[in-house]
Amino acid sequence: MLFSKNLIRWYIENKRDLPWRRTNDPYKVWLSEIMLQQTRVAQGMPYYLKFINAFPTVFDLARASEEEVLKLWQGLGYYSRARNLQKAAKYVAEELDGNFPNTYKGLLSLKGVGDYTASAVASICFKEPVAVVDGNVFRVLSRVFGIATPINSTEGKKQFGELAQKLIDKKNPSDHNQALMEFGALQCTPQKPDCLSCPFSSGCIAFNQNRIAELPVKLKKQKIKKRHFNYLVFLSDDGETLVQQRRGKGIWEGLYEFPLVETTAEIGQADLVEEEAYREYAQQSSEEVVLFNETPVVHKLSHQHIHTKFWIVNCENLPSEGVSVKELNKYPVPVLIENFIDTFDF
């Protein structure tokens, strides 16, 4: 209780003025929480403002197409969030008459809402005393209480979850939860936390034992896969090109890209035209293939590095129905593709 009191005092003093903190509308709070999953406030902010502007209510979002939502989401990453967002909005609008579930348990039934988001919305909008445990909370608690259990282990999740729940202020779960996260984001940061001005430093185990840099403990980093993409940028005489939507599992599901020839290694032009995938796209004759970038563009995702060559395929007529290059900006595309479109002078 004392912890929570000091924490909330710090929060009142230091909190940022964020748009989703000026409302208790579960739609807006939910939207902000989805956007901020694994995403910094500074990165999510412009997207939040765009979405609220385009879709002021859950009904507006429910009416939108998935593609429309993906286009607005373009560049924010983890696109399943956008697809689930639209599904959940449809569910709330059509099945619940626009009323969000008002309990932790009910919120969990929404697509894309897990333990963290359900706790956040339930506590902030409905004052349900359920503790949030996000990356910030893991870090703050592991340092203050000197807990070295790996935060991404089953045991760690259980332990930190129970501690967080024990600490929560049942009278003010909204401020308590937001305060703990804000404290992690602003004061108890991953690198170089500001321990000198920290209200908890005198009792902080990590600080007093000089273990700040060791905590929290996280198990093994993921391996990075290397992939080789060859994009075929068709260009017809009447200014059209080909794009297609990515389907099925994998990165960028639902986004558009140029016809893709993926290979196990970097290839040259002679190899490319022999690739089966290439021959399926191209008509056998009358194309002229020109490599746009001699040095592959390396697009880095958290779990794979994509080495990319863009091949300009000039032809009289496209092998299948194309889109005007002027219309390209209507399609949701990965940042890798957007960067090319911005660079290439169509």
Site string for DNA, 154-193 (x = CB under 7 A): x-----------------------x--xx-xx----xxx-
Please report whether residue 242 would count as binding DNA according to CB under 7 A.
Answer: no
Of the residues 66, 253, 271, 275, which one makes contact with DNA according to CB under 7 A: 253
Please report whether residue 115 would count as binding DNA according to CB under 7 A.
Answer: yes
Please report whether residue 116 would count as binding DNA according to CB under 7 A.
Answer: yes
Task: Select the span of 129-137, 194-202, 277-285, 321-329 touching DNA (CB under 7 A).
Answer: 129-137
Q: Cβ of residue 339: shortest distance to DNA, in angstroms? A: 8
Q: Spell 206-220 as b/e; 16+ CB within 10 A means b.
A: bbeeeebeebbeeee
Please report whether residue 91 would count as binding DNA according to CB under 7 A.
Answer: no
Cis peptide upstream of residue 216 (ω within 30 degrees of 0)? yes
CB atoms within 10 A of CB 242: 20
Please report whether residue 90 would count as binding DNA according to CB under 7 A.
Answer: no
Q: Cβ of residue 139: shortest distance to DNA, in angstroms? A: 5
Beta carbon nearer to DNA, 4 or 136: 136
Q: Cβ of residue 185: shortest distance to DNA, in angstroms? A: 4
How many residues contact DNA, by CB under 7 A?
64
Please report whether residue 78 would count as binding DNA according to CB under 7 A.
Answer: yes
Q: What residue has token string 């032809």?
A: 315
Task: Report CA torsion sign: 68, 334, 218, 45.
Answer: negative
Q: Is 33 a catalytic residue?
A: yes
Could you tell me which residues come within 8 angstroms of residue 176 by beta carbon, excluding any fewer than 6 positions away?
Answer: 4, 7, 8, 123, 167, 168, 169
Please report whether residue 268 would count as binding DNA according to CB under 7 A.
Answer: no
Asked if residues 108 and 102 have their Cβ atoms less than 8 Å apart, the reply is no
Tell me the DSSP string of 96-124.
STTPPP-SHHHHTTSTT--HHHHHHHHHH
Select which of 13, 33, 276, 287 is catalytic: 33
Pairing status of strand 256-257 against strand 244-245:
antiparallel
Please report whether residue 24 would count as binding DNA according to CB under 7 A.
Answer: no
Of the residues 6, 18, 63, 273, which one makes contact with DNA according to CB under 7 A: 18
Please report whether residue 153 would count as binding DNA according to CB under 7 A.
Answer: yes
Beta carbon nearer to DNA, 120 or 318: 120
Q: Cβ of residue 316: shortest distance to DNA, in angstroms? A: 33
Please report whether residue 22 would count as binding DNA according to CB under 7 A.
Answer: no
CA angle, 86 then 23 then 11, to 5°? 115
Amino acid at position 181, single letter: M
Please report whether residue 247 would count as binding DNA according to CB under 7 A.
Answer: no
Of the residues 53, 222, 284, 285, which one makes contact with DNA according to CB under 7 A: 222
Asked if residues 160 and 138 have their Cβ atoms less than 8 Å apart, the reply is yes
CA distance 44 to 264: 35
CA distance 181 to 132: 9
CA distance 201 to 107: 36
Total residue length of the chain: 346
Task: Select the span of 41-49, 59-67, 202-210, 236-244 touching DNA (CB under 7 A).
Answer: 41-49
Of the residues 7, 36, 168, 261, which one makes contact with DNA according to CB under 7 A: 36
User: Distance of CA 146 to CAs 132, 149, 196, 301, Å?
Assistant: 19, 9, 18, 32
Catalytic residues: 33
Chain positions contacting DNA, by CB under 7 A? 18, 20-21, 32-33, 36-43, 75-80, 84, 111-118, 120, 134-136, 138-139, 153-154, 178, 181-182, 184-185, 190-192, 218, 220-223, 225, 249-253, 299-304, 334-336
